[in-house]
A and B are shown apart, each in its own frame.
Chain A
């Protein structure tokens, strides 16, 4: 059975199209404003400032994203990882366990998942290194990192 083209509407086909286009325009408008309101904080991680503003309670699992400040330390013996994550306004002291990902370095991005402790430090159960979208060859004379195979 061959399906015919959409059944002709008894007048009002143009009206209907106008209605649909209006609905679409309204939808796009609403969506745009909703996005502006929500901002980039929507789903994956909060910046330290956003976490502070929302007063995330100690013990609630949350993800923070930001830049790693100079002063990252990792102790092989105790497997303690310590560093500070910042968004330029708020700094959070992070405690992790286990070797950090190869790309975790000072000045680069990181995303940590875990809980705030009562004293405001963050105990991370997962530490993820974030790298930006810029790719460049190493400067002459510098060998690229050996830890990445």
Chain B
């Protein structure tokens, strides 16, 4: 049997807590990023964009991995909850990828000297963005709840291959985007402790926002599906 009723715990208890935690974390992260973290010796104040750019990118990676898990979950169990989480995660993932691209572009102009260039990290990220926009387009044009879920699941599985490619692209070839500062093989993070702390709080804030948005959106999706299924009975 396919369960479509949203779990009660999610809607009643967790979401408000997530919401409050998100706001708190975001406030603290903003304060740390703007006031507490030191400026960079080379780039000056403009380096602070990192505290938006990097967490957005990482959370987008997380989101797309969750899309993959939700897709596999749907194909395996036929429970619409998995599909609801997948679409919610894809929407937030696309949003955060867009944010990372825009923030990155704003950061690039005063530092690199250009708004955009066709280098490995930027290219692969742009491709990833288009892939998941395609995922959402496919859903929008797909009638039938279960067929839509199956179609999206296929794309969700094929597209996730791109995520490690995006991250590793700068290590594989000559690129303009610098090598990973934190997530690097065999080395401790290459940044000042206060910067690292601010970055991690930023990541926490973005993750909480992600979880809150996904919870809200997934619940909405399940409620919609339930209504449609009711209408069909």
Within 23-45 of B, Cβ neighbours of A (below 8 Å) are at 38-45
Main secondary structure of the interface of A (DSSP, over half): loop
A114 within 8 A of partner (CB): no
Chain A: number of interface residues, binned into ranges: 35 or more
Q: Does A100 contact B181, Cβ atoms closer than 8 Å?
A: no
Which of B11-19, B58-66, B127-135, B187-195 is the contact stretch?
B187-195
B50 within 8 A of partner (CB): yes
Q: Does A133 contact B181, Cβ atoms closer than 8 Å?
A: yes
A79 within 8 A of partner (CB): no
Q: Does A130 contact B41, Cβ atoms closer than 8 Å?
A: no
Knowing A43-B173, A129-B112, say if A103 contacts B43 (CB, 8 Å). yes
Knowing A137-B40, A142-B41, A144-B40, say if A131 contacts B174 (CB, 8 Å). no
B4 within 8 A of partner (CB): no
The total of interchain contacts (Cβ-Cβ below 8 angstroms) comes to 123
Within 78-133 of A, Cβ neighbours of B (below 8 Å) are at 100-104, 108, 111, 126-133
Interface size on B, residues (CB 8 A): 38
Proximity string of chain A (17-52) to chain B, C-beta cutoff 8 Å, 1 when within and 0 when not: 000000000000000000100001111111100000
Within 167-197 of B, Cβ neighbours of A (below 8 Å) are at 172-176, 178-181, 184, 190-192, 194-195
Shortest beta-carbon contacts, A-B, top 6: A101-B113, A137-B38, A144-B44, A148-B44, A135-B191, A138-B41
Q: Identify the A interface with B (CB < 8 A).
A: 2-3, 35, 40-47, 65, 100-104, 108, 111, 126-139, 142, 144-149
